[in-house]
């Protein structure tokens, strides 16, 4: 268990069943509550109805990819922490991950990443104070 992550509701959007199971096992071990989906359409539905504390999204998924999911989330919630994930073996990974941050992801991780990389990224985002937007 990890006191910083315990009881946090985490949405994992990834169509790779094996990788999703790996991430879920890590999150379960840290005491997180996990929602898993295989596409961006279902991911957005859960963001709207379950209100997760953080979203982990793969960029390459059917129906609606991770970039579409990130843009849709940002239209409804500017403060929800989003981590984009993409396979390092893909030729377009660097540009895809770069695009994810331009479209609203707070962080990105190239697969495969270590448990420590994921944990540190999540803790950093969940402990950050949201920016206050308004007249200054």
The number of folded domains in the chain is 1
| Cα→Cα distances 74→20, 25, 28, 46, Å | 23, 28, 27, 14
Q: Is residue 50 situated within a structural domain?
A: yes
Q: Is residue 131 situated within a structural domain?
A: no
Mean residue pLDDT of the chain comes to 87
Helix, strand or coil, per DSSP, at residue 89 = coil
The model's pLDDT over 65-98, given as tens digits with 9 standing for 90+, comes to 888 999 999 999 999 999 999 875 554 455 667 7
Residue 46: CB atoms within 10 A of its CB come to 17
Q: Is residue 87 situated within a structural domain?
A: yes
- CATH of residue 79's domain is 3.40.50.2300
Q: Please give the pLDDT value at position 100.
A: 87
Range of the domain at 36: 9-124
Q: Is residue 120 situated within a structural domain?
A: yes
* Contact yes or no for 26/51 (Cβ under 8 A): no
Question: For the residues 130-134, what does the mean pLDDT come to?
Answer: 49
Q: Is residue 66 situated within a structural domain?
A: yes
The model's pLDDT over 16-64, given as tens digits with 9 standing for 90+, comes to 999 999 999 999 999 999 999 999 999 999 999 999 999 999 988 878 8
């Amino acid at each position: 268990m990890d006191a910083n992550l315990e009881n946090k509701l985490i949405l994992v959007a990834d169509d790779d069943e094996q990788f999703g199971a790996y991430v879920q096992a890590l999150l379960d071990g840290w005491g997180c509550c996990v929602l898993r989906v295989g596409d961006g359409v279902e991911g957005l539905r859960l963001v709207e109805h379950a209100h997760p504390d953080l979203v982990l999204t793969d960029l390459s998924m059917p129906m609606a990819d991770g970039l579409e999911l990130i843009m849709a989330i940002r239209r409804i919630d500017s403060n929800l922490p989003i981590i984009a994930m993409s396979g390092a073996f893909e030729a377009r990974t660097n540009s895809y991950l770069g695009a994810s941050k331009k479209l609203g992801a707070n962080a990105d991780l190239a697969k495969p990443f270590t448990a420590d990389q994921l944990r540190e990224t999540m803790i950093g985002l969940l402990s950050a104070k949201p920016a206050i937007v308004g007249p200054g």
